[in-house]
Structure 1
C-alpha cells in the first residue's frame, strides 16, 4: 500500500510491520532486503543505505544487496543538483558496480552501467574495457553499440565511432542507431553522410521530431533549401513551442528572397521568446537584405548595447556573439559611407582581446581603404603590430598586413622587404609569408615573382586543404595576365575540393560573364555565391553584370543598384551601372555614374586601379557628353524654329 499509493502513513506502518517481523527472525535476508527496498522506494535513502550495508556485512557476496545499493547510488547521482555528480558519490557508485560485475560477470547490463560510470568520471580506458566486454557478450546489442560509439565520439575519434555504428547488420539498424550515426557524421563535419543517416532514421520513425529536426538541419547544410523548409515546417507544426525551427524557416525564406515571409515567421518566433539574440539578429539581417538600413542599424545597435558589460569581462560565447553583432553593424556603417562609425565598431571588436584584436584591426584597415583614407589605414596597421606584440601568430599577420599596406601606397620595395624579412625557416610561418608575398607581387604586377611565391607556398602546404588557397592565388594571377583558360583550370581545381567557396564562385563566374563566355553557367555560379553571402556588394555587382551580358536588363538593374547602394566607393560598380543606363537609353544617368566612377578612381590607390580601366571609363563619359550636347543642341534648334 505504501509503494502503490505513496502515502507517508502507510509507509510508516509498513516499516513497523517489517521491524516486528525482524524481531521474530532478525537474520532473515528476505525481510532485511525488503525493508531496505521499502526505505529506498519511500525516499528514506540514508536508512536504505544503512540497511543494505548491514546485509552486505553479513554476506559480502549478496548480489541482490549489492544491486540495490548500486541502484540507490545511481538514483542519488541522478538527483544531484547544481551541475555534475560529487566525486564521492560517483566513486561509491563505481565501486559498487565493480563488485556487481565481479559477482555477475556475464551481465551485459551491469557492464554497460559500469562503463557509463567510468565515462562519467572521464576514465575512458576502463570504460572502453567494460564496453568491449559487453560487446563480446552481445555483439548486436543496440545499447552496447551506442555506448561504444558514444565513448569514441567523446574522445574525438569519430572514425572509430562511425565504424562501430555502421558495423551493425542492416536488419539491426534502428532509428536510434541511425540518428546516432547522423550525429557522429555531423561531429566529423561530414554533412553529406549525416544527411543520408538522418533520412534513413526518419524513414523508420517519421513521427520523431528530434530526428526530423536533425534531418532538416542536414538538408539546409547540404543546400537542399526546399526540402529543409518543408521539414522545418513539419517540426514547427508538431512542436508549436519550438522557436528554433521558426528561426531556421525564416533564415531559408530570407535566403530565397521571401523577406516579408521571413519577417512574419520571425514575429512568430519572437512571440515564443522575445529576448532571443539570434532571432533579433536575423531580423536585422532581413531588414538589411531589404535595403531598410535604418531598421537594421537600430536593431544591431540595440544588440551591441545589450551585449555590453561595464566590467569589460565576457565569456567566450559572449565575446563571439558581441563580435558578430559589432561586425555586422560596422559593415552597415561602411555600406552607408560612415567610415568613422564603422571604425569605432571594429575597434570594439579589437578591444575584446585575444584573436579578436587582429580581426578588429584587419577590418579597420579595410574600412579606411574603402573610404580611400590610406594614411589612416597604414596607421591602423601599425597600431595592430603594437597591440598584437604578445601573440606570435597574430603579430606576424599584423606585420604582413602592414607590409602589404606599405607596398600598396607607393613604397613597393620597402613593403616587399618587410614581408621577406619575416621568413624564418619555419614551414608554417614561411607558408603564410609566401602567400602574402604572392598577393603583393600580383597587385604590383610582378608576375614572375608572384608565381615563384605561390610555388614556394604550395611546396610548404602539407595538407590537401592547405593547397586550396594556392589554387585561388594561381587562378587570380593567371586571370590578371589574361590567361583565362589557365585561370579557369585553377579555379575549377579549387571548386572540386570546396564547391561552396563563394569567393571563387564569384571570381570565376564574373570572369566568364565579363568575357561573354558560357553566360548561363556564369550566372548559376554567381547566384550560388550570392546565396552564400547575400549582402556582399561585389557578388551583387557580378550578378547584375551577368544579367546585363545576357540582355536581361530588369534583373541587371535591380542587382547593380543594390550593389551601388552597398558600396558607393567602388568605381567598377558605378561603371557597370552606367553601361546599363546607356543600354536602356538613359544617357544622363549613365554619364552621372561614369562621373562617379572617375571620381572614385581618382581617390583610389594605384594598386587598386588599372589605368586601362580608367581610360575606358573616361572615353565612355566623353562620348556620352558629346551625345548629350548634340541632343541638347537639336532640342534647342527645334524650339527656335518653332518660334
Structure 2
C-alpha cells in the first residue's frame, strides 16, 4: 500500500526539480550564448543569452554578455534595459557605463555624463576626458574645454585626434573662426594631417561664406579625387542638392560621434574587431547619418564573418549618397564571402551600367570574374577599366597586372607580356609583377637570363615571400641547376609549410638529385594538402613511375639530361 508524502514535502521536491531543470536550461543557454559570442554570431548569441537570463535574471555575467551582443547588433535601446538591470544588481561594467554615457550624450545631458565619470563610472581615460571637455563647452566654459583637448594631445600620438575634437567642439557651438584656427595650427605643426581634418577645414570655410578659398583649398588637396570623402566634399562645395548640409557636418551630434568613430577606426587593425564594433555602433547611435560609421561597421562585421549583417549594413547607404558606390562595392565583397556569388555578380553588373564611366567599377568586375575563372568576361571588364583610366591619365600597375594574368590564362601570351611590361614601366620595383613575368618566361623557355634577373630582383624586394622564393628555386630547377635550387626551395617550404605546390616542387628537386625517398615523402605530403585535381593526378603518377618517366611521357627531357650539377 502506497504511503503519500505530506503536501509540503511533495511541493518542495517538485520545486527543487523545477529549479534543477531551470539551472540546466540556464547553463545550456549560457554555454550556447558564449559559443555564439566567441564566433561572433550575434543573432544566435542574443537568442541564447536572452533565454538564459529569463531563468537567471540576477546573473551579471550573462547580462554583460547580452549588453555586448545588443551593442554589436546596434540595438542600444535593448542594451539600455540590460544596463538598467545590471544597475539593479548594484553592478557597473565598462560596457554598461559606455551605454549609459552614450545615451546621456545623445540626450545632450552632459552634466550627468560628467558626473558619472567623476563617480568613477566612466568608459576609459581618453573618452572620459573627451566627454568632460564637451561637458565644459556645454556649460559655456570653453577655456577649460580647450585646455582638456590640448592636454590629450600633448606629447602623444593623439595630437591630431584631440585637435580634431577641439575644432569639432568649437564648430558645434558656433565658434567657427576658432575652429578654423585650430585646424590651421594643426597644419602648421604637423607634416601630415588627416583627410578628415582637411575636410573639416573645407566645411568651416564654406560655413564662413568663404567659398572661393574653400574651392581653392579643396582643389589643392583633393584634386579630381573620386573617393567617397572627396565626392561628398565636392558636392558640398558645389551646393549639390544631395550634399549633406554644412550644418549637419558641423553639428554637435557629428562632433561627439566622431570621437567614438575615430577610436573604432584606430582599433580596427590593432584589436579584436568586436571591440572596434562596439565603439562604432555607439558612433552610429550618436549620429545616425554618419555614412563613414555605417561603412566601418559593415567592414568590421564582414571581418568577423557576419556577412548577412554586413550586407544589411551596407544597404543602409542611400543611392543619392556620395558613399553609395563604396557601400555597394563593399556589399559585393560581403555577398561573395558569404557564398552568394551570383547575387554579388548581379550587383557588379548593375554598377557597371549605372557607373559606366568609373574605372574602379569595371576593375572590380574584372577582379571578381577572374577569381571565378571566367577569363573571357574578365578581359572585357578590364579593357573597359583600362580605357577609362587612360582617358584620365591614371592607369595603375595593378589593373595592367590583373589584365595580364587574364590574358595569360586565355593563352594570349603576347598581350599578357605587354601588360606585365607596361605595369613594370609604371612600377619597376613591383615584386609580384617581376615574379609573375619572370616565372612565366621560364615556364615558356623564353628570355631565361632576363627572367632569372627579374625573379632575383623580386626575391631581394620580398625575401620572405614563399611564392617568390619558390619561383627562384623553380627557375633554377628549369635551368637544371638543382643543387643551387634546393636551399631556396627548402626556404620556400619553410615559409609556406602546407602549400601543395611548393611541397610538390621540393619533391621534384629531391628526385632530380637522387634523393628519391625524400622526394616521395614530399609528394605524399603535397597530396595531404589538398592540391587541385590535375596536380594531384600528376603527383600520384610520379609516385607510381617516378618524375623522369612522367616528364618523358609529357614530351619533356628527364631531369638526368638537364642536370648541371653546380655544387
The TM-score with structure 1 as length reference comes to 0.42
Which fold has the larger relative contact order, with Cα–Cα distance below 8 Å and residues 6 or more apart in sequence?
Answer: 2
Q: Which has the larger radius of gyration?
A: 1
TM-score (norm 2): 0.46
